[in-house]
Structure 1
Amino acid sequence: MTARVDRVVTSGTFSLDGGTWDVDNNVWLIGDDRQVLVIDAAHDADAIAAAVGDREVVAVLCTHGHNDHVTVAPALSDRFDAPILLHPGDEPLWRMTHPDVDYRSLADTERITVAGTDIDVLHTPGHSPGSVSLYVPELSALWTGDTLFQGGPGATGRSYSDFDTIIDSIRDRLLTLPEDTAVHTGHGDGTTIGAERPALADWIARGH
């Protein structure tokens, strides 16, 4: 059985560099009736747990360490006895929210399997040092966290971010994927690689 994709939208705040903003987050679940991977456990553990149901949670994966993407990762980890996965480049950001909670380090090109479906980890820094995207060839789908949105790259105006780095990540790791690849983002509506390619050409030119 091919894995299916579910989305839960949760609301809360994002805080960094002394500012706090209201945000709606996309929490993604990839799996089948038995197993599921939770991506970006934001704000509302009960709402996410309701979407999980009685399935086995293979992991709670964080695309990056900003607080709005990791808020309830420990709560879900405890509830479902599942590991938290995070790229170690975002260790400083993680510790701002969860100073005493450990996680398992994600590596570039690592492969995670859930419900018989392979998920490839792509290290795509720029929005944060440890940002990752997740590519699922079987589903022709990509999860970009806050690296790529409909209309352009994620924000790089705050601590631990860098514009040239995010442009390199998008050019070298994401635009190489097939044009019909569906892009599932950390906030807002999705898009495709092909739809974003023309606009991204301008961003890439600006970046270098």
Structure 2
Amino acid sequence: MAARIDHLVTSGTFSLDGGTWDVDNNVWIVGDDSEAVVIDAAHDADAIAEALGDRRLVAIVCTHAHDDHVDAAPALADRTGAPVLLHPADTELWRLTHPDRAPDGELADGQEITVAGTVLRVLHTPGHCRGAVSLYAPELGTVFTGDTLFAGGPGATGRSFSDFPTIVESIRAKLLTLPGETVVRTGHGDSTTIAAEAPQLDEWLRRGH
């Protein structure tokens, strides 16, 4: 059976720089009936485990280390035995949420994670934070962008560890070069496509932040 994409939305809070906001997060599960990868273990380890069922969890992949994307990762790892993977540039951000528990492994640009015969290619896409990554699955015609690219524009860059010119360059160099029909599955909100977002890049550059 070919890999499929399961989706659930979990709710909680995001806290950084002294503020806290209510958020709904997209959790993506890529796999088949026997094994899977979780992309962003947000808020609710029980709900994610229920969605996994009895499948073997190959890895918990963090698109970045903001607390709303990693708060349930250690609990899910303890429950399943799966490793938590994070780009090392986000280690400082991770420690704000989990000071006593390090990730189990590192993500690197160009790294490939295979699940259910399907390759997820790691693209380092900093800007929203330093260690932000996207995961491109060419066989599934999709890219998981975390908070780097949304329907309508780039992720926020107004807080610590973020930079607007960097996120625009990441989107230009790593994401807009993908096929236009590629479905963009985001960390929050609706999905979009590369073709739908590409025309807006010049506007983002003019607008600044």
Structure 1: gaps spanning 5 or more residues: none
1:187 maps to what in 2? 188
CA distance in structure 1 between the partners assigned to 2:205 and 2:184 by the alignment = 18
Aligned AA (1:81): G
Q: CA RMSD in A?
A: 1.0
**Match of residue 151 from structure 2:** 150
Aligned counterpart, 2:107: 106
- Offset of 1:207 from its aligned partner? 4.7
User: Shift in Å at residue 170 of structure 1?
Assistant: 0.2
Amino acid at match of 2:121: D
Taking structure 1 as the reference length, the TM-score comes to 0.98
Matched-pair contact (CA < 8 Å) for 1:87–1:106: yes
Residue 6 (str. 1) matches residue 6 (str. 2): yes
1:205 CA displacement: 3.9
User: Is the 1:167–1:207 contact (alpha carbons within 8 Å) kept by the matching residues of 2?
Assistant: no
Percent identity between the two aligned chains: 68
Code of the aligned partner of 1:10? T
Partner of 1:22: 22
Matched, 1:117 2:118: yes
Which residue is 2:91 aligned to?
91
- The C-alpha deviation readout for 1:19-44, integer Å capped at 9, x for no partner, is 00000000000000000000100111
Q: Is contact 1:42-1:70 (8 Å) kept?
A: yes
Question: Aligned equivalents of 1:2 and 1:206: distance in 2?
Answer: 42
Q: Conserved in 2, the CA contact under 8 Å of 1:27 and 1:186?
A: yes
In structure 2, distance between residues paired with 1:204 and 1:105: 31
Residue 150 of structure 1 aligns to which amino acid in structure 2?
A: A
What is the letter of the counterpart of residue 28 of structure 2? W
Structure-2 residue corresponding to 1:34: 34
Match of 1:204 in 2: 205
> What's the CA shift string for 1:35-84, capped at 9, x where partnerless?
00001001111110000000000001100000000011000001000000
Which whole-Å deviations, capped at 9, do the CAs of 1:149-206 have from their partners, x for residues lacking one?
A: 0000000000000000000000000000000000000000000000111122311344
Aligned residue number for residue 57 of structure 1: 57
Equivalence map 1:65-76=2 (5 Å): 65-76=65-76
- The residue identity in structure 1 corresponding to 2:69 is H
Q: Using the alignment, how far apart are the partners of 2:26 and 2:58 within structure 1?
A: 19
Establish whether residue 45 from structure 1 lines up as the match of residue 45 from structure 2. Answer: yes
Q: Secondary structure of the residue that 1:59 maps to in structure 2? A: strand
5+ residue gaps, structure 2, are: none
| Alpha-carbon distance between aligned partners in 2 of 1:28 and 1:195, rounded to the nearest angstrom | 21
State the match for 2:128 in structure 1: 127
Kept in 2: contact 1:171–1:204 (CA 8 A) = no
